[in-house]
């Protein structure tokens, strides 16, 4: 552990570096410390912090910059979330106070709000859908033997997909199958609708080949409806927040945020360190998988919508971000998003 004075100096260096992105010298620290300390004492304390690996000296200046270990100590022991300016509160409330028609619209807007407010890359995942039930299943004919399968769930979401209709299945057979499915599926949760239930519902009334085609179609729609919807906004901010100009590096970053399988691993918070019991978790670049994000930090916050499940919001930005402001934003925003979703779900009760 550090002494109180060393903690003050480390905190001052991090706060100044966050603002200027320039190495911080002893004179700058002395002018900003809330206590009176000589420059010689500050130099000695900075040397002690450097020995502990919490700050580093750059080649181009006599000043110091925070190390990864320094940021980690700061995040675990010193950081305090700040209250947001009033105009930020108003912006969030205004953007969330829209006539949303689906949960996914709210979650997608959440990612956009966070990206707009921070100029970082933002992620938002909707609440789990285990308790959501099916309220309707429809087939709409299009053209050239194409149909649209539409699934409506109890939370107001509408899932649809377009399929090419096999020639051996007629429109009348599809309509009859849809009536059968509605009789069997409406009122059941997404988890309850298994392949065996679908086969049992359709097998007695359609040929085996037709049943297999329809079961595959329904399974696809159900899979999409039950899958976690992850929305990403502000991908372009990866360019401004990266210190590496290599185009292949930038392409890899874009690939990372566009692939759901990579995102799931990146946003897995199972082993994250938690900040003093607070709701926002922070991982620095060295704590993230691979070297691709070594200059970034990932902040994740879980939100709860009661019986409707839990969701997640996250920000990916530079390591030298203003953590106090961003932590304050995420802690406030996760609560506002939960309130908005609870209000939305209340319309269907």
E runs forming strands in 22-73: 55-57, 64-66
Cα separations (Å) of 61 from 8, 21, 40, 198, 302? 22, 13, 18, 69, 41
**Other Cβ atoms closer than 10 A to 133:** 16
SS3 at position 136:
strand
Kindly state the average pLDDT of the residues 309-323. Answer: 92
Confidence at residue 141, expressed as pLDDT on a 0 to 100 scale: 78
Alpha-carbon span 211 to 220, nearest angstrom: 14
Confidence at residue 270, expressed as pLDDT on a 0 to 100 scale: 58
Domains of the chain: 4-77 (1.10.10.10), 86-128+228-346 (3.30.450.40), 134-226 (3.30.390.10)
Confidence at residue 8, expressed as pLDDT on a 0 to 100 scale: 96
In this predicted structure, which of 2-16, 27-41, 182-196, 255-269 has the lowest mean pLDDT? 255-269
In this predicted structure, which of 146-160, 216-230, 250-264, 311-325 has the lowest mean pLDDT? 250-264
Confidence at residue 274, expressed as pLDDT on a 0 to 100 scale: 47
Confidence at residue 199, expressed as pLDDT on a 0 to 100 scale: 76
Tens digits of per-residue pLDDT, 231-271? Answer: 899 888 877 766 555 566 677 777 776 666 666 667 776 55
Tens digits of per-residue pLDDT, 130-153? Answer: 667 888 888 787 777 777 888 888
Is the pLDDT score of 167 beyond 80?
no
Mean pLDDT of the chain: 83
Confidence at residue 110, expressed as pLDDT on a 0 to 100 scale: 96
Confidence at residue 71, expressed as pLDDT on a 0 to 100 scale: 96
Per-residue confidence at 276, pLDDT binned at 50, 70, 90? very low
Q: pTM of this prediction?
A: 0.79
Is the pLDDT score of 61 beyond 80?
no
345 token code pair: 């779900």
Residue 66 burial (CB < 10 Å; 0-12/13-18/19+)?
buried
Please name every residue paired with 65 in a beta bridge, in sequence order, or none if there are none: 56
Confidence at residue 87, expressed as pLDDT on a 0 to 100 scale: 94
Is the pLDDT score of 205 beyond 90?
no
Furthest C-alpha separation in the chain: 89
Alpha-carbon span 44 to 50, nearest angstrom: 10
E runs forming strands in the chain: 55-57, 64-66, 121-125, 134-141, 146-153, 158-164, 230-233, 280-284, 296-304, 310-318
Tens digits of per-residue pLDDT, 319-341? Answer: 999 999 999 999 999 999 999 99
Q: What percent of the chain has pLDDT over 90?
A: 43
Q: In this structure, are residues 320 and 284 in contact, taking their beta carbons and an 8 Å threshold?
A: no
**Other Cβ atoms closer than 10 A to 246:** 9
């Amino acid at each position: 552990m550090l002494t109180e004075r060393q903690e003050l100096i480390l905190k001052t260096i991090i706060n100044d570096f966050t603002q200027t992105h320039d190495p911080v010298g002893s004179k700058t620290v002395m002018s900003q410390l809330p206590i009176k300390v000589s420059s010689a004492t500050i130099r000695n304390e900075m040397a002690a912090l450097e020995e502990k690996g919490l700050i580093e000296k750059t080649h181009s200046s006599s000043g110091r910059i925070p190390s990864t270990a320094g940021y980690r100590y700061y995040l675990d022991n010193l950081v305090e979330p700040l209250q947001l300016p009033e105009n930020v509160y108003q912006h969030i409330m205004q953007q969330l106070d829209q006539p949303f028609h689906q949960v996914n619209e709210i979650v997608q807007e959440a990612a956009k709000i966070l990206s707009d407010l921070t100029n970082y890359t933002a992620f938002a995942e909707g609440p789990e859908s285990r308790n959501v039930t099916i309220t309707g299943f429809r087939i709409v004919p299009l053209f050239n033997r194409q149909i649209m399968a539409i699934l409506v769930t109890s939370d107001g979401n509408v899932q649809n997909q377009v399929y090419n209709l096999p020639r051996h299945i007629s429109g009348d057979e599809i309509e009859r199958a849809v009536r059968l499915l509605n009789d069997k599926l409406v009122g059941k949760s997404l988890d309850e609708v298994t392949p065996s239930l679908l086969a049992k519902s359709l097998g007695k009334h359609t040929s085996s080949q037709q049943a297999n085609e329809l079961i595959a179609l329904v399974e696809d729609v159900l899979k999409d409806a039950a899958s976690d919807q992850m929305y990403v906004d502000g991908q372009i901010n990866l360019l401004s927040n990266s210190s590496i100009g290599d185009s292949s590096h930038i392409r890899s970053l874009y690939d990372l945020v566009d692939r759901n399988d990579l995102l799931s691993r990146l946003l897995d918070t199972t082993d994250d360190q938690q900040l003093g019991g607070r709701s926002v978790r922070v991982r620095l670049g060295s704590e993230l998988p691979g070297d691709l994000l070594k200059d970034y930090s990932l902040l994740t916050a879980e939100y709860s919508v009661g019986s409707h499940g839990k969701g997640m919001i996250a920000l990916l930005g530079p390591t030298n971000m203003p953590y106090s402001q961003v932590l304050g934003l995420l802690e406030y925003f996760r609560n506002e998003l939960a309130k908005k979703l609870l209000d939305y779900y209340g319309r269907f009760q």
